[in-house]
Amino acid sequence: MIAVLLIMNDSGNNKYLLTPGPLTTSLTTKQAMLRDWGSRDADFIAITRRIQDELLTIAGVGDSHAAVPVQGSGTFGVEATLGTLIAPGQRTLVLENGAYGQRIVTILERIGREVSVLHWPEDQQVDPAALDKALGEDPAIAHVVVVHCETTTGILNDMVAIGRVTQAHKRRLIIDGMSAFGAIPIDGESVPFDALIASSNKCFEGVPGMAFALIAREWLELAEGNAHSVSLDLYEQWRGLEANGQWRFTPPTHVLAAFDQALKEHGEEGGVAARHARYSANRDILVQGMRELGFETLLPDMVQAPIIVTFLMPDHPRFDFSCFYDHMSARGFVIYPGKLARADSFRIGCIGALGAVEMRQAVAAAKATLETMDIEDLAPLPTNQNDSLNRMGTQ
């Protein structure tokens, strides 16, 4: 029986969510939801417009792109974007190094689009040279889809290089920026993307319930009639919003109000650069602290995004993850199970409305939890496993 007294923290919760989303939001973001909004009300229409404009500005794309929101979680945004932009009969190449890339393949197959896949192990970055070769060999590939930060592991893919290769071959680039946009710099100039998908929570620290895509207008204009679904048709969603600023179907009004506030706080903090700096400091405190306790990260530091860190399950007879999880949770920190196909692991996020103080507290909670579990020293993994992981990650 775990009995630890939890009190409200600064974000108005009794626990911090060290997860890839939903994540910890500020008290003021939650408070922005304390009123009701009429969906046709001028105030609410202004909120939607403000959010659209702000997202385009953050991505550095202005008028060349349109910001199209859609109800639902991030996956709804991914499915809506793929189904709307990719016409039946067109071939798409997915660059896949984790579960979210695999989900993109599943969606394309399910909605009956032609798909090719380039696959890498979960601890390796997408290789732009392999993309270059694949595009050179197959002129039928019309579009490339890639995940910016593969949240499966927390690995960062090189968007500038991937963007350069895709543009050189005159193909269209769709980026799943769900766990990157808002905290990892990306802009339309250095990465010429045709569509970028993300959501209200994750690095913007809004509440979940809304996804969006920033889409090149000249492509969106060609997308009428492509979509496999009525509610996930971003062309119709865009036309509706352009016509009168209103959503076609009931909008998640409170989610938008919170997102509006979260974007204001994102700007006040100093935008993408400041958020990147805070999350990077969070990651560094976490990684250093956990390593001092004997935990090992899956990824080498060079490719580890400041979003979520994958730790290998310790090889210790008394280490039991569900027990570790419960004790961390009782101490106020919710962590996350692993999603690796080939190794036992768990993940701890560095994103959300929290900083250095909370990350140090999380490490202290991990230390106290190990003591509770009567573990003094975490035995490192057998050397051969370590070596092979490091080799794979740095290739």
Ligand X SMILES: Cc1ncc(COP(=O)(O)O)c(C=O)c1O
Q: Which is nearer to ligand X, 44 or 259 (CB)?
A: 259
In the complex, minimum distance from the CB of residue 62 to ligand X, in angstroms, rounded to a whole number? 25
88 CA to centre of own chain: 27
Considering only 11, 153, 179, 369, the residue that binds ligand X (CB under 6 A) is 179
205 binds ligand X (CB under 6 A): no
**Chain position whose Cβ is nearest to ligand X:** 74
Distance CA 324, CA 318 (A): 10
What part of residues 22-61 is at the interface with ligand X (CB under 6 A)?
none
Q: Which is nearer to ligand X, 175 or 328 (CB)?
A: 175
Question: Angle formed by the axes of helices 99-110 and 74-85, to 10°?
Answer: 50
| Residue 176 CB neighbour total at 10 angstroms | 31
In the complex, minimum distance from the CB of residue 207 to ligand X, in angstroms, rounded to a whole number? 12
Distance CA 106, CA 88 (A): 15
Q: Which is nearer to ligand X, 181 or 333 (CB)?
A: 181
Q: Which is nearer to ligand X, 206 or 251 (CB)?
A: 206
In the complex, minimum distance from the CB of residue 2 to ligand X, in angstroms, rounded to a whole number? 28
Question: Angle formed by the axes of helices 321-330 and 356-372, to 10°?
Answer: 130
By C-alpha distance, which of 102, 54, 79, 73 is closest to 207? 73
Distance CA 211, CA 73 (A): 6
Residues pairing with 297 in the sheet? 311
Question: How many residues sit close enough to ligand X to count as binding (CB under 6 A)?
Answer: 13
By C-alpha distance, which of 275, 344, 312 is closest to 26? 275
Q: Could you tell me the CA-to-CA distances from 203 to 19, 78, 132, 354 in Å, in that order?
A: 12, 17, 30, 12
Q: Which range, of 86-94, 172-180, 218-226, 364-372, touches ligand X by CB under 6 A?
A: 172-180
- The pair of structure tokens assigned to 248 is 């076609």
Residue 211, phi then psi, degrees to nearest 5? -115, 170
In the complex, minimum distance from the CB of residue 174 to ligand X, in angstroms, rounded to a whole number? 12
Q: Which is nearer to ligand X, 126 or 370 (CB)?
A: 126
Site string for ligand X, 139-158 (x = CB under 6 A): --------x---x-------
In the complex, minimum distance from the CB of residue 287 to ligand X, in angstroms, rounded to a whole number? 19
349 binds ligand X (CB under 6 A): no
- The answer to whether the CB of 313 falls within 8 A of the CB of 294 is no
122 binds ligand X (CB under 6 A): no
Q: Which range, of 10-18, 173-181, 341-349, 354-362, touches ligand X by CB under 6 A?
A: 173-181
Distance CA 266, CA 84 (A): 29
In the complex, minimum distance from the CB of residue 99 to ligand X, in angstroms, rounded to a whole number? 8
Considering only 199, 200, 226, 261, the residue that binds ligand X (CB under 6 A) is 199
Distance CA 216, CA 202 (A): 23
In the complex, minimum distance from the CB of residue 23 to ligand X, in angstroms, rounded to a whole number? 10
Phi-psi region of 35 (alpha: psi -120 to 50; beta: other; left: phi over 0): beta
20 binds ligand X (CB under 6 A): yes
In the complex, minimum distance from the CB of residue 19 to ligand X, in angstroms, rounded to a whole number? 9
By C-alpha distance, which of 184, 216, 172 is closest to 305? 184
Helix (H, G, I), strand (E, B) or coil at 240: helix
Q: Which range, of 4-12, 68-76, 366-374, 382-390, touches ligand X by CB under 6 A?
A: 68-76
Considering only 28, 57, 73, 280, the residue that binds ligand X (CB under 6 A) is 73
Judged by the rule CB under 6 A, the positions of this chain that interact with ligand X are 20-21, 73-75, 78, 100, 147, 151, 176, 178-179, 199
